[in-house]
Structure 1
C-alpha cells in the first residue's frame, strides 16, 4: 500500500478539476491513466478518500498543474486513528483495562448481556446464571428464613448455612431435604475436619436475589440489623415456623442443677437486638413469656413453658428433641 496525501478541504477537488481541464481527458480516460477504476477517481474528486501521493505528483508533473501542499500519510496511517477511537469506545464501555474499576465494569457489562440473552451465551459454552423461581409463602419457607437468619449468610452469589459436625449432622440432612423441597435446588454439603463444621451452600445470583426479595440481607447481619420479614410476622403460623428455624440453629436446651434436682432450660441467642425483639414478640403472641436476663439472650426456665413451646412450635433438630425427651423420661421415673 502506498502513501497518501492529505490536502486541505476543497484542494483535492480543485486540483483534479485543474488536471481534467489541462489534460482535456474525460474522467474515465484519466482513471485509466491512473490505473484505477472510474469510480475510484470520482471518489477522489468528491474527496471521499485521500489520493495516492505518487499518483498525484505524476498528474501534477505530466499535466503541469501545481499540487497544493499537504500532509503525507504513511501506509496504514488509519490504524492508529482507528485504534484510538476503538480504545476510547472500550474505555467508555468497560473502563480502564487492567484496573479493578475496569474489570468490575467489564464484568457488569458481560453479566448484563448474559441476562439479556442467556440461551446464546449458554450455546457458546459460557457460564450463565441459573434461573430460579421464588416459592410461594409457606411454613416450610418461613422455617428456612429462620434458619438463614440464624446460622446462614448471603454473599453476592451464594447462600450458606453453617452447622456443627459434632451435634448437627442429622439436622444438616433434614435441612438439605427441606431446601430441596422448598426451593427445588440441591444444596452442596461440605465438611471441614479442622473446625468440625458442616456447610450447606446454594450458589446462584438469582437464588441470592430471590432470598433478598423474601426479606433477607447479604453481608454482615449485625450491621444490617436483621429482622424477621414482615410477610412472616403477619401470619401466626409462618412466624412460629420462623422462630423454630431460629431456635434450631441459634438456640437450644440446656440442663442446670439445683438443690432439688436437674432442670431443663430453653435459650435463644442473638446479638441483633431487633431480631431478639421479634422472637420475643412472637413467643408472647402464643402465650410464652421468655425472659431477657443477659445481653443477646432469651430464656425460659419452667417446664410448663418449655413443654408448651414444643407443643406449639416444636423442633426439627434431633439434638433438641433428644434433650427434651430425655429430660421428660427422667422426670417420669421420679
Structure 2
C-alpha cells in the first residue's frame, strides 16, 4: 500500500483503519500521548474543566438548552447543539455569545442545507455535568430546577427566559381581544416547572395538558411577563 493510503479515512469508514485502531487499543498504545501532553502544556488542549459560576447567565443558558438544545455523549467528548430558526438573528447572536462565555470556545454556527435551521454547536468534555442538563433525548426524563435558581427570583426569571426563548410564543387576536403568552413542551415535568415558576413570579398561568402548554391569558399579565422575561428583546 502507498504511504498515504489511510489519508481521509477513519475507523468508521475503513476496516483496515478500524483494525489498526482496535489493535492499538488492545495493546494500550497511544500514538498521540506525547503530542497531547505538549498541547496541554501550551494551553492548546484543555486539561481542566471547572464548574460554571452560578448566575443569571447560566440559568438562562440552562433554560434555552432544555428547550432548544441537544446534548450527545461520545467516547472522548460531548456535543452541545442549540437549534434556531435562521431568521431569528437576535437569538443566534445572544446564545452563541453565552455558549462562548461559559465554554471559553467559539461555537460553530451554520445553517443547514436542507432546512431553515441554524445550529450553534460545540464539542467539549463534561458539558452535561457542568451545565446541569441531562443528555438527550429528555422527553420522558424528570427535569428538576436547581435550588440555587429557586432561591433567587432574578435567576428564576432568567431561567424562564431561556425556556420561553426556545419554546415560547406570543399571539394576539384583536377581534376577540384574546392575548396569549404560551410555553409548549411535551416533557410533563418541564411544564410543571414553568407553571410553578410563573406563579412564583406572581402570574396566573393555566396548564392546558391536552395541548402540552402553559398559558397566560390576562392582557395585563401577558405584557408584564413579556417585559419581565425580556422575551425576544435582544
Map 1:85-234 to 2 at 5 A: 103=22, 106=25, 118-120=36-38, 122=39, 131-156=48-73, 157-166=78-87, 168-204=88-124, 206=125, 209-234=126-151
Given that 2:128 and 2:135 are in contact with CA atoms closer than 8 Å, whether structure 1 keeps it comes out as no
Q: Is the Cα contact below 8 Å between 2:52 and 2:131 reproduced in 1?
A: no
Aligned mates of 2:162, 2:222 — CA distance in 1: 16
Computed over aligned residues only, the root mean square deviation of the Cα atoms, in angstroms, reads 3.2
Give yes or no for contact 1:212–1:218 (8 Å, CA) kept in 2: no
Structure number having the greater helix percentage: 1
Deviations 1:51-81 (A, max 9, x none): xxxxxxxxxxxxxxxxxxxxxxxxxxxxxxx
The answer to whether structure 1 residue 283 and structure 2 residue 198 are counterparts is: yes
Secondary structure (helix, strand or coil) at the match of 1:170 reads: helix
Instruction: Please tell me whether residue 309 in structure 1 is matched to residue 225 in structure 2.
Output: yes
Tell me the CA shift for residue 219 of structure 1: 2.2
SS in structure 2 at match of 1:221: coil
Gaps of 5+ in 1: 1-97, 322-334
- Structure 1 length normalisation: TM-score? 0.54
Separation in 2 of the partners of 1:280 and 1:178? Answer: 26
Change (3 A) 1:129 1:184: closer
Offset of residue 177 of structure 1: 1.8
- Alpha-carbon distance in 2 for matches of 1:247, 1:264: 16
SS at match of 1:224: coil
Q: Is the contact between residue 216 and residue 229 of structure 1 (CA under 8 Å) also seen in structure 2?
A: no
Q: Which has the larger radius of gyration?
A: 1
TM-score by length of 2: 0.75
Q: Distance in 1 between matches of 2:127 and 2:81?
A: 14
**Higher RCO (CA 8 Å, separation ≥ 6 residues):** 2
The whole-number CA distance in structure 1 between the counterparts of 2:29 and 2:107 is 27
Q: Which runs of 4+ in 1 moved over 4 A?
A: 127-131
**Equivalent pairs, count:** 207
Q: CA deviation at 1:247?
A: 0.2
How far is the alpha carbon of 1:110 from its aligned partner? 7.4
